[in-house]
Amino acid sequence: MRPLPDQSAFEDKSELVLKKVRIKESEDITPISSPRTPKTPKICPKTPTKTPLRTPTKNTTIHFLTQKKRTKSTSNDFDYLTEIGEGSFAKVFKAKGKMDNKLYAIKKSKRPIWETSERNQHIQEIENGMKLGFHNNIAQVLCAWEEGGHIYIQMELCERGNLKDALNLAVQEEGGAGKLPEYIIWQYLYDVAQGLAHVHEKGIMHLDIKPENLLFSNDGVLKIGDFGVCSSANEEKEGDEGDQVYMAPELLNDIRTPAADIFSLGITLYEMATNYNLPKKGQMWRNLREGKIPFPEDDDAIISDDLKNLILRMMDPDPAKRITIQGLLKIDKLQSLSCLKRSTSTLYRLQRKLF
Ligand SMILES: Nc1ncnc2c1ncn2[C@@H]1O[C@H](COP(=O)(O)OP(=O)(O)OP(=O)(O)O)[C@@H](O)[C@H]1O
Ligand SMILES: [Mg+2]
């Protein structure tokens, strides 16, 4: 097992530990009041069950929440094949369209939504999803409706799980100390950065970028999903902050800018590169938000200076100094990946299918 990072540079005794060991927590940060906290732990996609999943009963009132001209869906338009994911608010099913035989992801709220504020939050998730339209690195929202009080969102299916699952798998390798190879980390960053640039160009902040919300399509492309927390740029209203583990420090003071997404992506990158079990609170939580960011120093876990420097720029405590998404796309590594992708797109796709 890799030794713990040298903590002598820091004033406190809290420490980051490798994934399989629990983090020591010292003291709480200011509690975050949000209707979506506390978060429940993620349940990884389950293995397909043979018994068909129950579809909702007929004759319930249906409200369509999207106004697309093409066919509107309802629950009975799908055969539900298996549950593929669960978050704090919804379950996600793999389903086959009865009319077109195509596979989709159907996200269904866990319980009926009667409260206006909660309903509005779901409506916003849907509206932002529709506003984002098609982009190769966004899990596309296709249609949404309300049935029996539950909210349903029909989405593009990302069949190969989320980035958290991929990280957990990597950790299990090499006797529990495995991690993603760095060139794969750059490819994942490239994908998410393309998607995030599109999100920010549309004037939307995601505000919940984290490995569970980054989803793999069948050909291994990483896509941003779960727009359940996001808000529009310049929106004055108070709101949700997303997952505390990946949360930017300024969100504690309700300062919301696209830079918050850069911090969350930066700390996600840090998790991918180090394999540390990131804290939810405590002194180390604060250190990571004050630029005191330890990296493993042993030879096995070596991280390139390019990647370290980028992580530091993305996790800058000052949102105004943090690298922007446009700046990120201009860094040499991502530029060269972009050229590589253009020139060898078939080979590149094939290579990614293997991971
Ligand atoms: N389009 C999709 N294709 C495949 N799997 C998906 C899709 N959307 C979501 N999932 C899976 O379902 C899980 C939960 O979905 P999602 O994050 O959207 O739910 P949530 O209740 O809003 O979650 P959170 O707790 O993050 O707020 C994801 O982590 C992912 O594994
Ligand atoms: Mg989620």
Q: What is the CATH number of the domain that holds 341?
A: 1.10.510.10
Query: How far does residue 242's CA lie from ligand 2's centre (Å)?
Result: 9
The answer, yes or no, to whether ipTM is higher than 0.90 is yes
Q: Could you tell me if 287 and 233 are in contact, meaning their C-beta atoms sit under 8 angstroms apart? A: no
Domain boundary (98, 127, 155) is at 155
How does DSSP assign 15-62, residue by residue?
--EETTSPPP--SPPPPPP-TT-SPPPPBPPPPPPSSPPPPPPSS--E
Q: Are residues 181 and 323 in the same domain?
A: yes
Q: Which atom, in ligand 1's list, is nearest to the CA of 86? A: 14
Placement of tokens 């919804």 in the chain = 90
Q: Are residues 115 and 227 in the same domain?
A: no
Cβ within 8 Å of residue 178, ≥6 positions away: 170, 171, 172
The pLDDT confidence band at residue 196, using thresholds 50, 70 and 90, is very high
Within-domain flag for 147:
yes
Residue 146 pairs with which residues in a beta bridge? 63, 151
Q: Are residues 222 and 191 in the same domain?
A: yes
pLDDT confidence of residue 134: 95
Please tell me whether 108 is known to bind a ligand: yes
pLDDT confidence of residue 354: 60
Mean pLDDT for 96-100 is 94
12 in catalytic set: no
Q: Are residues 222 and 308 in the same domain?
A: yes
Ligand that lies nearest to the alpha carbon of residue 141, given by its number in the listed order: 1
Q: Which residue, judged by its Cα, is nearest atom 18 of ligand 1? A: 226
Q: Which residue, judged by its Cα, is nearest atom 12 of ligand 1? A: 85
Q: What percent of the chain has pLDDT over 70?
A: 72
Q: Are residues 197 and 328 in the same domain?
A: yes
Within-domain flag for 36:
no
Q: Are residues 148 and 172 in the same domain?
A: no
Residue of 77, 208, 226, 261 with catalytic role: 208
For 213-249, the three-class secondary structure string (H helix, E strand, C coil) is: HEEECCCCCEEECCCCCCEECCCCCCCCCCCHHHCCH
Q: Are residues 151 and 167 in the same domain?
A: no
Domain boundary (124, 155, 186) is at 155
Residue 275 tokens read as 């394999």
Comparison of pLDDT for 50 and 316, the residue scoring more = 316
pLDDT confidence of residue 57: 46
Q: Could you tell me if 353 and 302 are in contact, meaning their C-beta atoms sit under 8 angstroms apart? A: no
Burial class (CB in 10 A: 0-12, 13-18, 19+), 50: exposed
Q: Which residue, judged by its Cα, is nearest atom 11 of ligand 1? A: 85
Within-domain flag for 46:
no
Mean pLDDT for 156-183 is 86
Mean pLDDT for 55-76 is 63
Placement of tokens 């129950």 in the chain = 54
pLDDT confidence of residue 117: 86
- Domain holding 179, by residue range, is 163-354
Within-domain flag for 3:
no
Residue 327 confidence (pLDDT) above 50: yes
What CATH number is given to the structural domain containing 61?
Answer: 3.30.200.20
Q: Are residues 320 and 197 in the same domain?
A: yes
Q: How many independent structural domains does the chain possess?
A: 2
Q: Are residues 133 and 270 in the same domain?
A: no
Domain boundary (155, 172, 195) is at 155
Within-domain flag for 168:
yes
Q: Are residues 177 and 281 in the same domain?
A: yes
Ligand that lies nearest to the alpha carbon of residue 89, given by its number in the listed order: 1
- Which of 41-45, 61-65, 112-116, 229-233 has the weakest average pLDDT? 41-45
Q: Where are the beta strands (DSSP E) in the chain?
A: 17-18, 62-64, 78-86, 90-97, 103-109, 141-147, 150-156, 204-205, 214-216, 222-224, 231-232, 276-277
- Best of 154, 162, 207, 217 to mutate for ligand 1, by most ligand atoms within 8 A of CB? 162
